[in-house]
């Protein structure tokens, strides 16, 4: 987790990968294991979490992995998956972004669906408050407001 525990570190990661543009909004989300399960999901979406940079050109996503058996995702146990390439979805390839409360009485966790022209559906969830990630609350809230 030390690789992405400050905004400065993740900005450098996106700059090195050439996915840092004029407008950037960086936050962390998790794969929604309740909604995306099975062999196909594991092969097509081989990550437990993502560092997302919402830019003026699209969404850049750095895959995160969590070692061992994953019963619940924890940001403190995640690390950047160096075996996976950064995923980039240009704005013109995004057909919809849907954000809803994760549960009826839980407005602090949001369920996210990002659908693309090629038929993919990234099923994710994000926590507004992520104690270990100081940039999460402000930036994830911006993402929610921008896409609702």
Which two structure tokens, joined as six digits, stand for 54? 């919402």
- pLDDT tier at 36, thresholds 50, 70, 90: low
pLDDT of residue 104: 79
**Predicted model pTM:** 0.91
DSSP 38: S
Q: What is the dihedral of CA 43, 96, 107, 28, to 10 degrees?
A: 50
pLDDT of residue 44: 67
Q: What is the pLDDT of residues 49-67, one digit of tens each?
A: 999 999 999 999 999 998 7
Give the separation between CA 41 and CA 130, rounded to whole angstroms. 25
* Domain containing residue 19: 2-147
Give the separation between CA 5 and CA 23, rounded to whole angstroms. 21
Q: What is the pLDDT of residues 63-100, one digit of tens each?
A: 999 876 656 778 888 999 999 999 999 999 999 999 99
**Number of folded domains that form the chain:** 1
CATH number at residue 50: 2.30.29.30
């Amino acid at each position: 987790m030390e690789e992405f525990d400050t905004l400065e570190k993740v900005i450098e990661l996106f700059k090195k990968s050439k996915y840092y543009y004029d407008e950037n909004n960086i936050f962390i989300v998790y794969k929604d294991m309740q909604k995306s399960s099975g062999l196909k999901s594991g092969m097509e979406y081989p990550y437990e979490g993502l560092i997302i940079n919402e830019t003026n050109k699209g969404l850049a996503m750095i895959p995160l992995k969590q070692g061992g058996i994953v019963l619940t995702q924890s940001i403190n146990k995640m690390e950047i998956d160096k075996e996976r390439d950064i995923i980039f979805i240009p704005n013109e390839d995004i057909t919809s972004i849907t954000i809803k409360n994760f549960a009826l009485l839980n407005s602090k966790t949001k369920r996210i669906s990002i659908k693309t022209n090629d038929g993919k559906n990234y099923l994710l969830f994000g926590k507004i408050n992520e104690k270990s990630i100081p940039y999460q609350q402000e930036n994830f809230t911006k993402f929610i407001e921008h896409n609702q």
